[in-house]
Amino acid sequence: YQQNPKTYAIVKQLLAEGNAGELQKYFGSRMEFGTAGLRAAMGAGISHMNDLTIIQTTQGFCRYLEKNFSDLKKRGVVIGFDARAHPSSGGSSKRFARLAANTFISQGVPVYLFSDIIPTPFVPYTVTHLKLCAGIMVTASHNPKQDNGYKVYWENGAQIISPHDKGISQAIEENQEPWPQAWDDKLIDSSQLLHDPYAMVNKEYFKDIQKQCFYRNINKETSLKFVHTSVHGVGHKFVQLAFKAFDLSPPFAVPEQKDPDPDFPTVKYPNPEEGKGVLTLSFALAEKDGARIILANDPDADRLAVAEKQESGEWKVFSGNELGALLGWWIFTCWKNNNRDARAVKDVYMLSSTVSSKILRAIALKEGFHFEETLTGFKWMGNRAKQLMDQGKAVLFAFEEAIGYMCCPAVLDKDGVSAAVITAEMASFLATRNLSLSQQLKAVYDEYGFHITKASYFICHDPKVIQQLFDNLRNFDGKNTYPKSCGRFKVSGIRDLTTGYDSSQPDQKAILPTSKSSQMITFTFANGGVATMRTSGTEPKIKYYSELCAPPGNSDVEQLKKELDELVNALEKHFFQPEKNKLQRKTE
């Protein structure tokens, strides 16, 4: 009895070969449902994304929602998908989205299923806009082409946080037998419960982001040219529409990358965070068309990378922290110009994750608004933003160093479409003052203090080695002692969000929530440096993030960079010990 002939054939072949090792890989353990939902390769077996595992996941999610919302059958859910596909197993984002819709509809739950590919931020937008109970986005963002994912939003329009992941995970375990007609997704096409929000959201979203458009006349007149790439993902059409909504001339689209292609043929990794490799074609087009600024989205258009041609002819790719500094400065400046009441600033907030640059804290201190840091990941910033907004506060901006920006309160998650067009307006405005983005970034640092950051990672496939590395840091000079120095750098504070210890708090307890299941230690140094080491939730990596914050007036940037480089070298040598632990360096 077979429902998907392709995955059935893969398994049958392995059985015929008696390949126990591969079968163990496919069926040994189920994909774990966490706060990021699911993320795994497409293929056969319960460890992969396929028709069956999508049905089982959605059945569990549906039961969990029924338990939490008495009005689920009145309000419903939204489902979106990107352009990923995996011909050899028959899996695709669209197929998975339709199967998920079928599951809900079979239980009498209304489903708002987008009829075509969309950017990830459109799902949280729709949850909020239509007051739905939940949202699902089928995407693996910037992961390799064989991967897919299942990302879940709660009724507040933010990604789920604990304990929902545990509750959903348990409900999946309890609902593994596919319900009758679970595979027959054609049933949804004739259902009264199926709605298509595509046209409505394409109108309303672009109306809502125009609240962040402040210089329409400059936009109309600007001679600045932009190149945009969607890196074979979903972003092209939507960034074009965003430019139109702001009265900007459309950006030049990189022709080889503008149409969705699940093979991502022109890039090694479809991740603009990897820097210049992904932007090679963009640089060439910009040179040809005389564009000074490149805007690059990742394949599901929730992140944004920006590059600018310098006076020297070199291209500068801004880090996530640098763009965060620029957008934070810009969004606050626009807010200030439009709010003459001096007292209103007391209700203004900006957020960033704890591994991102503290530049917003410096701006907030000087300008009088509030800055808060959250745990890593937009789920925390989205949920905190919603809490603050419910208390009548204005959350103007949130960002993370992994090129994620929330510039618009209509989406409580990172959004690369609104970030792209707001960056374009900022650049157009600065051009009327004869300033480049790089020059303005320096001006921000001159005014609020230089914040220099450096981040990287080591790859480690052995969880025991990772555990040992962090245990070593917690028992550095004997049992339960953290390092007092790192090479020549004196440690002045420790915060361990795995155990909940924070040396700077009177009761030694950390303020941010702790999680025993992931590793994360932050060291503060006497020289004003901060470094965080943490494990990744989705990849076999140990990441580090370092920053040197100087007070305003200290403008010897080269000296600061040198100091940070030395701190990072000491961190790698003494705390990571790559040779001893056989860690693989990030390759450029």
CATH number of residue 395's parent domain: 3.40.120.10
Per-residue pLDDT band for 146 (boundaries 50, 70, 90) equals very high
Cis peptide bond prior to 163, omega within 30° of 0: yes
Q: Three-class SS string for 333-393?
A: HHHHHHCCCHHHHHHEEEEEECCCCCHHHHHHHHHCCEEEEECCCHHHHHHHHHHHHHCCC
Q: Which of the listed residues 175, 195, 215 is the one where a domain comes to its end?
A: 195
**Alpha-carbon gap, residue 226 to 291, rounded angstroms:** 5
CATH number of residue 474's parent domain: 3.30.310.50
Same domain, 227 and 175: no
**Alpha-carbon gap, residue 562 to 114, rounded angstroms:** 50
Amino acid at 166: K
**Alpha-carbon gap, residue 327 to 397, rounded angstroms:** 8
* pLDDT of 563 above 80: yes
| Token pair listed for 9 | 């054939």
Q: Are 286 and 294 in contact (CB under 8 A)?
A: yes
Q: Which of the listed residues 408, 431, 448 is the one where a domain comes to its end?
A: 448
Same domain, 264 and 383: yes
What lies within 8 Å, CB to CB, of 468 at 6+ separation is: 581
Q: Report pLDDT digits (tens) over 526-558.
A: 999 999 999 987 788 999 999 999 888 877 889
**Alpha-carbon gap, residue 225 to 295, rounded angstroms:** 11
Q: Are 547 and 438 in contact (CB under 8 A)?
A: no
The predicted pLDDT at position 132 comes to 98
Helix axes of 5-17 and 20-27: crossing angle, nearest 10 degrees: 140
Q: Using the 8-state DSSP alphabet, how is residue 573 labeled?
A: I
Per-residue pLDDT band for 277 (boundaries 50, 70, 90) equals confident
* pLDDT of 517 above 90: no
Same domain, 328 and 354: yes
**Alpha-carbon gap, residue 322 to 564, rounded angstroms:** 16
Same domain, 95 and 241: no
Q: Report pLDDT digits (tens) over 417-456.
A: 999 999 999 999 999 999 999 999 999 999 999 999 999 9
- The secondary structure of 389-456 as a DSSP string is HHTT-EEEEEEETTTEEE--TT-SS--HHHHHHHHHHHHHHHHHTT--HHHHHHHHHHHH--EEEEEE
The separation between the first and the last C-alpha atoms of the chain, rounded to the nearest angstrom, is 48
Number of domains within the chain: 3
* pLDDT of 1 above 70: no
Q: Is 93 a catalytic residue?
A: no
**Percent of the chain at pLDDT above 70?**
99
The predicted pLDDT at position 149 comes to 97
Same domain, 347 and 462: no
Same domain, 212 and 352: yes
The predicted pLDDT at position 280 comes to 96
Same domain, 174 and 219: no
Q: Are 538 and 39 in contact (CB under 8 A)?
A: yes
Same domain, 165 and 262: no
What is the DSSP pairing of strand 315-317 with strand 584-585?
Answer: unpaired
What is the C-alpha R_g of the chain? 24
| Token pair listed for 7 | 């995955």
For 111, 308, 411, the CA distances from 418, given in Å and listed in that order, are 26, 19, 10
Q: Which of the listed residues 150, 180, 195 is the one where a domain comes to its end?
A: 195
The predicted pLDDT at position 457 comes to 95
Same domain, 397 and 249: yes
Strand (E) or helix (H) holding 463: helix 463-474
Q: Report pLDDT digits (tens) over 32-66.
A: 998 889 999 999 999 999 999 999 999 999 999 99
Same domain, 119 and 134: yes
Please tell me the total number of residues recorded for the chain in this structure. Answer: 588
The predicted pLDDT at position 221 comes to 98
Q: Are 43 and 86 in contact (CB under 8 A)?
A: yes
Average pLDDT in the chain: 96
Among candidate residues 89, 141, 319, 546, the one labeled active-site is 141
The whole domain housing 161 covers 5-195
Buried b (16+ CB within 10 A) or exposed e, 22-53: ebeebeeebbebbbbbbbbbbbbbebbbbbbb
CA angle 131, 135, 140 (to 5 degrees): 150
* Strand, helix or coil for residue 15: helix
Q: Are 160 and 171 in contact (CB under 8 A)?
A: no
What lies within 8 Å, CB to CB, of 421 at 6+ separation is: 209, 213, 239, 242, 243, 245, 246, 248
**Alpha-carbon gap, residue 41 to 47, rounded angstroms:** 8
Percent of the chain that is helix, strand, coil (3-state, to 5): 40, 20, 35
Same domain, 81 and 35: yes
Same domain, 394 and 407: yes
